[in-house]
Structures are given as C-alpha cells and as structure tokens.
Amino acid sequence: MKTSVVRIHRHGGPEVLQYEEVDLPAPGDGEVQIRQTAIGLNFADTYQREGEAGPHDGGAMPIILGGQGAGIIEAVGQNAGTFMAGDRVAYISPGAYAERRNVAVGRLLHLPAEISDQVAAATLLRGLTAEYLVRRLYKVKPGNTVLVHAAAGGMGLILGQWAKALGARVIGTVGANSKIDIARAHGCDEVIVYTGEDFAARTMELTGGTGVDVIYDGVGKDAFLKSLDCVRPMGMVISYGTASGNVGQFDLQLLHRKSIIVTRPTLRTWIAARADLEAAAAAFFEAVISGKVRADVNRSYSLRDTRRAHEELHSRSTTGAAIIIP
C-alpha cells in the first residue's frame, strides 16, 4: 500500500519539508494500522526539523515528522491487545505526518466518545505535558501563585486553565496586546505584555515582592534567566520548552541566594510506563469533558500545506492549537 507523508531529507527551515508517497507495510507484531483523521502540530516538530533536541530521537534520514495523531484502526497485527479494527484511537509517537501509518499498541489510547479526533490530535501531547507539569512535577494547589509564559500559546492556554481549576492565582505573559483577552479567557488573573514591560519586575510587584511559587517556561532563552528574578525563595522554575532557543550554560550560583529549584523535564519520561500514560490521559480527558480545560482547535492545514503551517508557527503570531488534516 502507498501512503502520503511529509518528511525531510536534511535538517533546515520549512523549505526542507517534502510531500511524498511511500510504501506502507502491513502492521507487524504488536502494531495496528491507522487511517488518520487528524494530526497534531506542535512547536516541538520544528525542533526535529531543524535538528535540535525535540520530543523524539531524529533517526536516519529521511524522517517523517510529527509526534501525535488520531484516527480509525483499519488493520491489526498479531498481539494487538484490546485494539480492534474500527476503534477510534489517539497516540503520541514519532512519524505522524502521514495519511496512514502503523503504530505500536503500547503508545495507543482509546478515545472516549466525548473527545473528538480533532481535539485529541491537536492537544494530546500538550494535555499530557500539562498534566505532569501541574499535577506531578509541581503539584499546584489552592493558594499557589503561578507564572505561565506564552500564556496565549497552545501549551499556555491549557496550563493557565488547569492551574486555575486547581485553585491557583495565574499570572501570564504574552507578546502582544491582542493576546491579553485570550490569556484572560483561559485562566489568567493578570496578564503581562513582556514586549512592553519588564515581566520580572511586574511579577514581583503583583506578588508584593514575594515572587511566584512556580514558573512554567516554554520560551527558553528569552525568558529563563529573568524568570529566576521573580520566583519566590525555594520556588521552582520549570523549563519545559525552548521556543526562543536553548537556555545554554548558566551559573548555578544564580540559584543559591533563593535556593531556587530548576528542572528541564520531557514528557516521554513521564509517560514511559504504560500505567503512567493511561493515568495521565484519563486525567486530561476528564479535565476536558468536565469543562475545567477547554481544548479548542483554532486552525487547520492540509497535509500538502504543512510547509505553510511551519512558517506560521515560526512567526509567533498564532494562538491556540492547530491540526493537519490528511
């Protein structure tokens, strides 16, 4: 069988993305074959395209990009467990930019009837990332004050809502005045436009000079060091992404004065065990179904138009989650 894919033969900018047809074998042992109805689009995909450390190991060229999707099982291999043809499923696994693909059952999740394919494909990776960030790595509780960088982005929208639902006061940063209302509508009590004012100084002012309990930083280079200035003593700064570039080396003595805890986690280690994957997904699906987290899909692209999707991701002008429709 032939299937359409988007892949790269070398690392680089959006121009290296190629729409091609490849052979797709029958599903092997422990695999199923999925006809994809929606594919997730994440900033982390651009790291893999550029050859930076992304959510998955790069592997040998050519590489089919993408890390999450949803669809219908069309065929099953041996030892497919509880998965059968006709099931609606979603997954986090490399090689998602494809019309049809094979996926190991260990990475598959059955989708509840209340969760659409589009929402699952657009938000599963972000949702599971948010789950461990607010419920396990730092357990947000009533009375906490949190700072969410890029609060109007795909991750920021989920983090702000979930932290708010857990009882926290949420301060968000955004890059433009046009994003203030979006951030406020998704959990932020106060919003700082970091291009117009010093976010660290403003955060300290908003917290009466104390600083926040935890900072969720998906920005990286442009935000990390200043974040150390506005976290409270013994607070935590979580660098979970590097949209503006890698943080690079920094002096550990910067943490000494306030006993700051800094961590650079990755989702794959937090869902490596099947039980952790299932528990995280159940928590995220419950948050969406209950209305604690609105997981909206803001825009979509065709598989042929993936290059434009990456260009718009780089523009930093987009908000919310997007999908690719095969």
284 lies in some domain: no
- Amino acid 55: pLDDT: 45
Mark whether 10 and 119 lie in a shared domain. yes
Mark whether 229 and 151 lie in a shared domain. yes
- The CATH number covering residue 203 comes to 3.40.50.720
Mark whether 61 and 175 lie in a shared domain. no
195 lies in some domain: yes
116 lies in some domain: yes
Under a CB-based contact definition with an 8 Å cutoff, are residues 311 and 45 in contact?
no
Mark whether 22 and 95 lie in a shared domain. yes
155 lies in some domain: yes
Name residue 62's amino acid: P
Mark whether 119 and 14 lie in a shared domain. yes
38 lies in some domain: yes
- Amino acid 56: pLDDT: 46
306 lies in some domain: yes
Mark whether 13 and 87 lie in a shared domain. yes
Percentage of the residues of the chain whose pLDDT score is greater than 90: 85
Q: What is the pLDDT along the chain (326 residues), one digit of tens a residue?
A: 999 999 999 999 999 999 999 999 999 999 999 999 999 998 889 889 998 754 445 578 999 999 999 999 999 999 999 999 999 999 999 999 999 999 999 999 999 999 999 999 999 999 999 999 999 999 999 999 999 999 998 899 999 999 999 999 999 999 999 999 999 999 999 999 999 999 999 999 999 999 999 999 999 888 999 999 999 999 999 999 877 788 888 899 999 999 999 999 999 999 999 999 999 999 999 999 999 999 989 889 999 999 999 999 877 666 668 899 99
pLDDT in tens, 252-264: 999 999 999 999 9
Mark whether 82 and 175 lie in a shared domain. no
Structure-block tokens of residue 27: 């599903």
Mark whether 154 and 113 lie in a shared domain. no
Query: Pick from 220, 248, 264: which residue ends a domain?
Result: 264
Mark whether 99 and 189 lie in a shared domain. no
Mark whether 118 and 164 lie in a shared domain. no
- Amino acid 316: pLDDT: 65
Q: Which range marks the domain in which residue 300 is found?
A: 2-124+295-325
Under a CB-based contact definition with an 8 Å cutoff, are residues 72 and 88 in contact?
yes
- The CATH number covering residue 42 comes to 3.90.180.10
137 lies in some domain: no
208 lies in some domain: yes
Mark whether 104 and 150 lie in a shared domain. no
Mark whether 146 and 257 lie in a shared domain. yes
Q: State how far the Cα of 324 lies from the Cα of 299, in Å rounded to an integer.
A: 9
Domain count, the chain: 2
- Amino acid 303: pLDDT: 97
Q: State how far the Cα of 113 lies from the Cα of 242, in Å rounded to an integer.
A: 34
Query: Pick from 249, 264, 279: which residue ends a domain?
Result: 264
Query: Pick from 222, 243, 264: which residue ends a domain?
Result: 264
Phi, psi for residue 194 in degrees, rounded to 5: -70, -15
